Structure 1
């Protein structure tokens, strides 16, 4: 698989990811817990949340926690980019190239939010829709932006069995994460790598 096709996959994911985030950012306010979703189709809901940290809202504490996270992401995506380049150069399997491209695109999509959104947009508050390039400046310095999340799939909910420690009897909802297109690309890439690991990572050792 040629590098140009891998770049095409990356650009396609980035365009869809950024277009969806910018549309949500410029047209809606943050969805509070007592508000109806932007779109509610039962098992699929469209919301507007912002994530200041890493996956599942995790944050590194301290004044420099956000910058540490951004720097880590940049180094990580550099490593993924090098992996992609070497895989193409060495004639890696098509499924491997596609998966790495999806992971790279997803990681880059969220880095764009973290690095630039705070400078580009005004804050999204309950009752105030954000604007692009506001006269008074954005809601945060470079590198302190928030990642826009909007996809929510509450497939089913129920209660943990009473015999289970800690959570026994508690209510749960699956799937409870709110995510975006970039997150989806990373997840799909990783799942495909696992499912097709034998094709992605063939054992080229000669048998005796």
Structure 2
């Protein structure tokens, strides 16, 4: 068969070897697939960051509204019993960390809370896991909640006292921000034990 015959009998877009040729300047199939995969990953990360932001906003607003209610309706009043002596609502001002720990180190915990927020912001750049997004959102919302108290409440100067009001029997008094931080931390520990990383991959020790 002559060269002319081979050209005539070959289907459009194919060479005699059966391989497709790309037009000059046109990306090949692998390049197109790679670009689509990158776009999908970017979209997935944006969705996970949206989950993180939504959870953080919900936790923060719930904590903020509960503290506003406590300051206006519960502070300077007798404790309110919820389940007898097992659980009461008792407003106090806490100069320490969560659950009343570290009294007198308010400025240190303020800096730690700010550092936690920065770390979470950096982790969000490679966040592809929904459970991790929820866990980090809880941490972020709780950190912002208590940080708001430390910045804006008396005595000021990043040494404001945090409003606590949930008082179980034989336990420290805490607030909803502390609860969000604790739940986020527990979820992170569980994810780590299962080998799930923030980017959605699994690892084995």
State the TM-score bracket (shorter-chain normalisation): 0.5 to 0.7
The residue number in structure 2 matching 1:180 is 175
**Contact 1:95/1:200 (8 A) holds in 2:** no
Question: 1:104-183 residue pairs with structure 2 within 5 A?
Answer: 104-118=140-154, 140-154=155-169, 173=170, 176-183=171-178
The residue number in structure 2 matching 1:25 is 71
- TM-score, normalization: structure 2? 0.66
The higher radius of gyration belongs to 2
Q: Which has the bigger relative contact order, CA under 8 A and spacing at least 6?
A: 1
Q: Report the alpha carbon displacement of residue 195 of structure 1 after superposing the two structures with TM.
A: 2.6
Question: 1:29-68 residue pairs with structure 2 within 5 A?
Answer: 29-30=75-76, 36-42=78-84, 43-59=86-102, 61=104, 65-68=105-108
Q: Report the alpha carbon displacement of residue 112 of structure 1 after superposing the two structures with TM.
A: 0.5
As a proportion of its length, which structure holds more helix? 2
For the structure 1 residues 179 and 193, does the alpha-carbon distance in structure 2 shift closer, same or farther, using more than 3 Å as the test? same
Please state if 1:95 is matched with 2:110. no
Q: Tell me, what secondary structure is at the counterpart of 1:200?
A: coil
1:86-141 residue CA offsets vs partner (Å, 9 max, x unmatched)? 242xx2x21111101111111111000011122xxxxxxxxxxxxxxxxxxxxx23
* Distance (Å, rounded) in 2 between the aligned partners of 1:194 and 1:76: 16
Q: Tell me, what secondary structure is at the counterpart of 1:143?
A: coil
For the structure 1 residues 59 and 194, does the alpha-carbon distance in structure 2 shift closer, same or farther, using more than 3 Å as the test? closer
- TM-score, normalization: structure 1? 0.65
* Distance (Å, rounded) in 1 between the aligned partners of 2:73 and 2:175: 16
Query: Which of residues 42, 62, 66 is equivalent to 1:16?
Result: 62
Structure 2: gaps (5+ residues): 1-46
**Contact 1:50/1:149 (8 A) holds in 2:** yes
Query: Which of residues 101, 105, 111 is equivalent to 1:71?
Result: 111
For the structure 1 residues 145 and 195, does the alpha-carbon distance in structure 2 shift closer, same or farther, using more than 3 Å as the test? same
Q: Report the alpha carbon displacement of residue 204 of structure 1 after superposing the two structures with TM.
A: 4.6
The alignment of Structure 1 onto Structure 2 pairs a total of residues equal to 153
**Contact 1:105/1:182 (8 A) holds in 2:** yes
**Contact 2:100/2:174 (8 A) holds in 1:** no
Q: Aligned-pair RMSD on alpha carbons?
A: 2.2
Q: Tell me, what secondary structure is at the counterpart of 2:157?
A: coil
Structure 1: gaps (5+ residues): 119-139, 155-172
**Contact 2:145/2:177 (8 A) holds in 1:** yes
